[in-house]
Amino acid sequence: FALETSLRRALEHEEFVVHYQAQIRVSDGRPVGYEALLRWRRNERLVAPDVFVPLAEETGLIVPIGEHVLRTACREAAAQRSAEPFTIAVNLSPCQFRQRRLVERIAAILEETGLDGHRLELEITESAITASADDAVRTLSALKALGITLSIDDFGIGCSSLASLKRLPIDKLKIDRSFVAGLGHARDDQEITLAIISMGHNLGLQVLAEGVETSEQLMFLRKHGCDLVQGFLLAAPSPVAEFIPSA
């Protein structure tokens, strides 16, 4: 399969690069974290992950690719010299999440890069945790013990039960951007967003809205107490050199 071969070669030739998108605190407009987003630099062009991540998942190649993203993100965040340390959020695919010895591998990467676990955040999707809730609780608890922040990505479009949410030691919900898109005009998206913010806060979780593209969406989120926002309105994903204050 041609794409699979290209993916293997891309890994060997270090064609995978990591871009970063700011996560902004609504109360003061400051960036408090950055999400690491994988890109494939292929013949001078950047290929978006939705083109190749599904195949990388199927073939298991997402495990070494994901580890590359994690190591790069931790290394680049550890090199930061600014006064206010930011967190770095890395996406974990379901396949990585179920990997045996995941916790040991992550601990080793923190050790190797010198990044404090409190500065790392892992984003998992609902589909990663529905398979076996007991295993998920064990894995997540071990990650928390390393100081890592845990968030549920694309929240609201998966099929996690609210009961499993209660049992999992997570810190943050990321409202899926399909709901954010309707803020300001679509009644149902607004009601779902309000419900997620309110439920998240009642469970003691932080709530981040992703895919914020308009000031109307931002105003709605600010008015209703959403903690953090991420999206093209605030900042597009960019290569590391463009955002890390180095002095």
Report the C-alpha gap between 27 and 123 in whole angstroms. Answer: 23
Q: Indicate whether 152 belongs to the interface with ligand G (CB under 6 A).
A: no
Binding-residue pattern over the window 185 to 204 for ligand G, x denoting contact by CB under 6 A:
--------------------
Indicate the residue among 60 and 232 with the shorter CB distance to ligand G: 232
* Region from 56-64, 147-155, 158-166, 185-193 binding Na ion, contact rule CB under 5 A: 147-155
DSSP-assigned beta bridge partners for residue 15: none
User: Where in 110-139 is the site for ligand G (CB under 6 A)?
Assistant: none
Please pick, from the candidates 12, 28, 50, 134, the single residue that binds ligand G as defined by CB under 6 A: 50
Q: Spell out the alpha helix ranges (H) of 171-225.
A: 177-180, 187-202, 215-223
Indicate the residue among 69 and 110 with the shorter CB distance to Na ion: 69
C-alpha torsion angle, residues 188, 189, 192, 195 (rounded to 10): -110
Q: Spell out the alpha helix ranges (H) of the chain.
A: 2-12, 49-59, 62-78, 94-97, 102-113, 126-130, 133-145, 162-167, 177-180, 187-202, 215-223
Query: Is residue 70 within 8 Å of 64, Cβ to Cβ?
Result: no
Q: Indicate whether 211 belongs to the interface with ligand G (CB under 6 A).
A: yes
The CB-of-83 to ligand G minimum distance in angstroms stands at 27
The CB-of-93 to ligand G minimum distance in angstroms stands at 3
Report the C-alpha gap between 33 and 155 in whole angstroms. Answer: 18
Which residues of this protein are in contact with ligand G, per CB under 6 A? 21, 37-38, 48-50, 53, 62, 66, 69, 91, 93, 153-154, 177, 210-213, 231-232, 237
